[in-house]
């Protein structure tokens, strides 16, 4: 039967509101570029040619490359073990391997610092960031492997290839897009990470931006570093797009799992366990030990803790609502129509994914100071920053939940007398609402963990759990930081874990 | 009056033409089946009528009301046209009763109508169930009731039985035809199942590549197809080549006489052809071959019967058994061409047996060259 969809022209008001939404989320980046273009070429060159800047950039790119390459190799291996080797409790293992996603990087480094106070430099940063980000590769590759028939690999074996070569020549081309896309997320995560590298005193661009902003009145240096960071991010995003070759997968009819001998099974299990142990178990263990220590219980300031929790939860809830409102017209447009402009809008909608939090924070400092000074250092700007940063998470789930409502249902509602808007209210909205809820929850959970933009934009005297944890730790008060870390795990990490159990899509979005 | 009139409607996607000046009249209260292969434009036709697809040309009228024309197009919700899509597409968040009542405003009338329709489709007591608890056939009935509830002027059914197994689809198709007659609804049924179309429709329109090739009663479509393509699309055919003779055979000598006498739907003949089956009565439709022209002869396998006295000698070459009958392939003595005859069980011949085969229905005659036939 012929399919006759997607030919209808999108309604003007929908295109207009989606365009407005894009314009709004583009404010930070556009404003930063506009400010950057006011600087003279000499000024820019002078900043960029400082050896210090070259060192920061090299540190950043080196760390990001090392972490993402390791994550791709390790994540693909773990995904292969989880899907192709016969293991007991396979589902539980998959869930456990997703856990590091729920732990913000600075919490992991805090936990390690509690256990091993002297940690610093490249190696600890590299190991910890890899442990925390591996699931970005493991989960999509495992999903791709589950959708890929193992028959091809078996055929290759019967044609005389060894197991590794069979995997490389048959299966890898089919999961490569998932692995590379996961690697990109890891690269962007590492690039924009601030808390972990700062705690472990490994100097990257985000750290440099924060220093330049805090230390000098001339903020153009911070702006130039931020632009440099954005350029690196965009180059990597574009390179990944160019390298992406979609291979049509052979559909999995059955998935065979292989039995392996006991010693090898131990090695496989150890590999699967490595990231959760390094990224979750040891840090949370360190935190737990510290939490029950006498010193901590004496130092805990309950009213301050309650206030920070309230601010964190309140700001996150607001951010989730705003992000959903911004994402909805875009999601509705992208789910139902396809033309060039809709494609452009949707791609722009995902752009904030590539923009580091510290860049959005810095740009909104400039923006609020010079355009809306009344809002400078208010919750309005902070919530707006959160909404811009994490809107793509709501966009993805909102889009797919609208898409899952069959257009036939809408057509039926129309022939039964409902106008387009009424059909949306009576059919699309009730069916897509759970998806919208999950999208908003994702935004809220991620917002609670946000650190660098919060540090720049929070109103004076207002603290979130993340900033409290940060300032205690940077002052060396590990004990005093423990209660904040614990509450943060309670309000952000645990819901994230539950959500990742509820919905497999959500795991890849966090 | 709810007669539906389509006049020269044209729809295209980019450069591909989905509907090419389609014209059709669906008389008030009748059921018209649109029969055609996948991709022939059937679904596009329904969506255009429902107002879900904009027209490029032509007009759509119901009674004296213009729904789509050169200037305006009434939106789907104001057309009074019901639609039953391919998959039942019930609203998953609403109960069966709320699905049926979706198109009506809340109130006592709605409740009564929902009750009446659940009874009509044989699903009494299912009102509170969720669509997920229904079987495929039940879901299709609910989709039908939902479309009927607001009493539309015209009902469109898009392969409503396509996803069901063959036993269920035939009983459901008859049920649906009954419901439509009881509701006196003007309806269009799109299908690619020829038996379904011939069985339940008042009229059949055969579509191919965005055009309507032939419209007629089921008997007309099957027995007097207008092109060889229609002939082979609506049923099995035997094709031979022959030479046209403009004079008729002597009726008392003709093998077709008992199917050719006076009466309704009698095919009659306009001449005869000389072919592997001998000299047989024939009807040339839409073409006027000259005496002595080579022509394409088409007959149905069930028009050929074994005979002891008349016809041409033939030997059984193979039997393809279908339970209630069999298609028996014959070698014709002295001719390279083979024919297939449908022979009713249980008296089936065996391979190698000799027979005489006689034609009991005037043969259909078309121009000899297939490329000419395609232009018809």
In this complex, do B52 and A411 lie within 8 Å of one another by their Cβ atoms?
yes
Q: Which residue of A has its CA nearest to B101?
A: A416
d(CA A178, CA A171): 12
CB of A9 within 8 Å of a chain B CB? The answer is no
Cβ distance A418 to B52 less than 8 Å, yes or no, reads no
Q: How far apart are CA A252 and CA A31, in angstroms?
A: 48
Point out the least confidently predicted range of A285-299, A324-338, A394-408, A421-435: A285-299
Contact B93 A417 (CB under 8 A): no
Q: B339 CA to chain A: closest CA distance, Å?
A: 33
Partner A contacted by B13 (CB < 8 A): yes
Written as six digits, the tokens of A52 are 């210090």
pLDDT band per the 50, 70, 90 thresholds, residue B261: low
**Cβ B103–A414 below 8 Å, yes or no?**
no
Least confident of A211-225, B44-58, B137-151: A211-225
Give A427-477 as a 3 state SS string.
HHHHHHHHHHHHHHHHHHHHHHHCCHHHHHHCCCCCCCHHHHHHHHHHCCC
- Interface contact flag, B86 A412, Cβ < 8 Å: no
Whether residue B77 lies within 8 A of chain A, CB to CB, comes out as yes
**Nearest chain A CA: its distance from B13 CA (Å):** 8
- Note whether A262 contacts B: Cβ–Cβ < 8 A: no
Question: Which of B44, B83, B103 is opposite residue A2, by nearest beta carbon?
Answer: B44
The string of DSSP codes covering B301-323 is GGGEEEESSSSEEEEEEEEEE-S
d(CA B323, CA B316): 18
Q: Least CA distance to B87: which residue of chain A?
A: A408
Summarised one tens digit per residue, pLDDT across range B353-369 is: 888 899 988 899 998 86
Hey, are the CB atoms on B86 and A1 less than 8 Å from each other?
yes
pLDDT of A148-179, one tens digit each?
777 777 777 788 787 778 888 888 888 888 89
Using CA atoms, how far residue B212 sits from B20, B206, B225, in Å, is 9, 6, 13
- Taking CB atoms and an 8 Å limit, are A413 and B102 in contact across chains? yes
Contacts B81 to A, Cβ<8 Å? 415
With an 8 Å Cβ cutoff, is A442 touching chain B? Answer: no
- Which domains, from first to last, does chain B contain? 4-223 (3.40.50.300), 236-375 (2.40.50.140)
CA atoms of B203 and B154, how far apart (whole Å): 15
Computed over every residue of chain B, the mean pLDDT equals 87
The token pair at A115 is: 């256990």
> Is the Cβ pair A415, B50 closer than 8 Å?
yes
Answer yes or no: are the C-beta atoms of A352 and A33 closer than 8 Å.
no
Nearest residue in chain B measured CA to CA from A427? B91
**The predicted structure's pLDDT at residue A510:** 38
The helix-helix angle for A51-84 and A122-133 (nearest 10°) equals 40
pLDDT at residue A379 is higher than 70 = yes
- Domains of chain A as residue ranges with CATH: 11-26+292-510 (1.10.3720.10), 50-244+264-288 (1.10.3720.10)
Chain A partners within 8 Å of B36 (Cβ): none
- Which residues in chain A are contacts of B188 at CB distance < 8 A? none
SS3 A355: coil
Whether residue A509 is predicted with pLDDT greater than 70 in this model: the reply is no
In a 10 Å sphere around its CB, with 0-12 CB exposed, 13-18 middle and 19+ buried, how is residue B261 labelled? Answer: exposed
Which of A338, A404, A416 should we substitute to test contact with B (largest number of B Cβ atoms within 10 Å)? A416
Write out residues 305-364 of B within 8 Å (CB-CB) of A: none
Kindly report which listed range (A493-507, B235-249, B303-317) carries the lowest average pLDDT score. A493-507
Q: Which residues of B touch A5 (CB under 8 A)?
A: none
Distances (CA, A) of A49 to A38, A55, A493, B287: 19, 10, 41, 88
- Whole-number Å distance between alpha carbons of B299 and B313: 18
Instruction: Tell me phi and psi for residue A70, to 5 degrees.
Output: -60, -40
How does pLDDT run across A76-111, given as a tens digit for each residue?
Answer: 999 988 888 888 787 788 888 888 888 889 999 999
For B44-58, write each residue's pLDDT tens digit: 999 999 998 888 899
Contact of B117 with chain A, judged by CB distance below 8 Å, is answered with no
Burial B93-114 (b: 16+ CB within 10 A, else e): bbbbbbbbbbbbeeeeebeebb
pLDDT at position B347 over 70: yes
């Amino acid at each position: 039967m012929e399919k006759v969809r997607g030919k209808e022209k999108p309604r003007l008001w929908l295109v207009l509101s989606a365009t407005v939404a894009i314009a709004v989320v583009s404010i930070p980046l556009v404003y930063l570029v506009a400010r950057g273009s006011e600087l003279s070429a000499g000024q820019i060159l002078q900043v960029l040619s400082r050896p210090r800047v070259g060192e920061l950039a090299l540190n950043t790119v080196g760390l990001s490359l090392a972490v993402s390459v390791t994550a791709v190799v390790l994540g693909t291996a773990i995904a292969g073990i989880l899907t192709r080797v016969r293991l007991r409790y396979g589902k539980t293992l998959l869930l456990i391997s997703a856990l590091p996603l729920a732990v913000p990087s600075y919490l992991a480094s805090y936990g390690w610092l509690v256990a091993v106070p002297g940690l610093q430099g490249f190696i600890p940063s590299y190991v910890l960031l890899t442990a925390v980000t591996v699931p970005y590769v493991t989960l999509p590759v495992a999903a791709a492997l589950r959708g890929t028939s193992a028959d091809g690999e078996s055929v290759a074996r019967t044609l005389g290839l060894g197991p590794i070569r069979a995997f490389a020549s048959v299966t890898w081309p089919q999961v490569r897009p998932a692995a590379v896309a996961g690697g990109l997320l890891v690269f962007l995560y590492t690039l924009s990470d601030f808390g972990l590298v700062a705690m472990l005193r490994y100097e990257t661009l985000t750290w440099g931006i924060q220093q330049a902003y805090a230390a000098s009145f001339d903020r153009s240096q911070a702006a130039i570093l931020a632009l440099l960071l954005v350029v690196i991010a965009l180059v990597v995003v574009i390179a990944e797009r160019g390298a992406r070759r979609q291979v049509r997968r052979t559909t999995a009819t059955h998935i065979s799992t292989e039995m392996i001998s006991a010693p090898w099974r131990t090695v496989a299990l150890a590999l699967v366990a490595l990231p959760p142990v390094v990224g979750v178990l040891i840090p949370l263990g360190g935190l737990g030990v510290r939490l029950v220590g006498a010193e901590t219980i004496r130092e805990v300031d309950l009213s301050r803790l309650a206030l920070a929790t309230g601010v964190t939860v309140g700001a996150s809830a607001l951010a989730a609502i705003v992000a959903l409102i911004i994402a909805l017209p875009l999601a509705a447009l992208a789910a139902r129509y396809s033309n060039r402009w809709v494609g452009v809008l949707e791609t722009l909608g995902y752009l904030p994914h590539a923009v580091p939090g510290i860049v959005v924070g810095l740009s909104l400092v400039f923006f609020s100071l010079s355009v809306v000074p009344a809002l400078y250092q208010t919750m309005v700007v902070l919530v707006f920053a959160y909404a811009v940063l994490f809107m793509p998470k709501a966009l993805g789930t909102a889009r797919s939940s609208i898409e899952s409502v069959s257009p036939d249902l809408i057509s039926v509602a129309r022939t039964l007398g409902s106008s387009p808007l009424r059909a949306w209210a009576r059919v699309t909205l009730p069916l897509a609402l759970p998806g919208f809820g999950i999208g908003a929850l994702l935004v809220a959970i991620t917002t609670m963990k946000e650190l660098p933009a919060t540090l720049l934009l929070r109103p004076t005297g207002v603290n979130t759990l993340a900033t409290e944890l940060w300032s205690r730790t940077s002052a060396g008060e590990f004990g005093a930081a423990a209660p904040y870390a614990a509450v943060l795990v309670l309000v952000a990490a645990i819901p994230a874990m539950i959500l990742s159990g509820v919905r497999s899509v959500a795991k890849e979005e966090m | 009056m709810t007669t539906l009139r389509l006049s020269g409607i044209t729809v295209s996607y980019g450069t591909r033409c989905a509907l090419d000046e389609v014209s059709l009249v669906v008389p008030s209260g009748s059921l018209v089946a649109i029969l055609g292969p996948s991709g022939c434009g059937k679904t596009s036709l329904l969506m255009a009528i429902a107002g879900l697809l904009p027209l490029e040309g032509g007009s759509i009228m119901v009674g004296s009301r213009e729904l789509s024309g050169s200037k305006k197009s009434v939106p789907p919700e104001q057309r009074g046209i019901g639609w039953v899509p391919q998959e039942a597409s019930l609203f998953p968040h609403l109960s069966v009763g709320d699905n049926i009542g979706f198109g009506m405003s809340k109130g006592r009338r709605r409740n009564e109508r929902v009750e009446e329709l659940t009874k009509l489709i044989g699903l009494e007591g299912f009102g509170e169930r969720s669509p997920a608890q229904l079987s495929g056939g039940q879901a299709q009935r609910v989709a039908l009731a939902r479309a009927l509830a607001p009493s539309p002027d015209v009902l469109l059914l898009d392969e409503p039985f396509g996803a069901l197994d063959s036993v269920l689809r035939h009983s459901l198709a008859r049920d649906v035809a009954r419901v439509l007659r009881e509701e006196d609804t003007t309806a269009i049924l799109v299908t690619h199942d020829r038996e379904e179309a011939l069985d339940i429709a008042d009229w059949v329109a055969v579509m191919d590549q965005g055009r309507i090739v032939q419209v007629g009663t089921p008997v007309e479509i099957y027995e007097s197809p207008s092109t060889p393509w229609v002939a082979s699309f609506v049923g099995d055919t035997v094709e031979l080549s022959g030479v046209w003779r403009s004079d008729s055979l002597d009726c008392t000598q003709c093998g077709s006489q008992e199917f050719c006498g006076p009466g309704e739907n009698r095919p009659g003949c306009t001449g005869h052809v000389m072919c592997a089956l001998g000299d047989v009565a024939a009807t040339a439709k839409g073409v006027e071959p000259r005496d002595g022209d080579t022509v394409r002869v088409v007959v149905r396998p069930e028009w050929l019967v074994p005979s002891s006295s008349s016809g041409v000698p033939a030997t059984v070459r193979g039997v393809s058994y279908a339970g209630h009958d069999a298609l028996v392939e014959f070698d014709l003595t002295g001719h390279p061409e083979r024919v297939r005859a449908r022979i009713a069980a249980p008296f089936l011949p065996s391979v190698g047996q000799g027979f005489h085969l006689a034609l009991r229905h005037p043969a259909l005659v078309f121009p000899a060259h297939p490329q000419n036939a395609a232009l018809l």
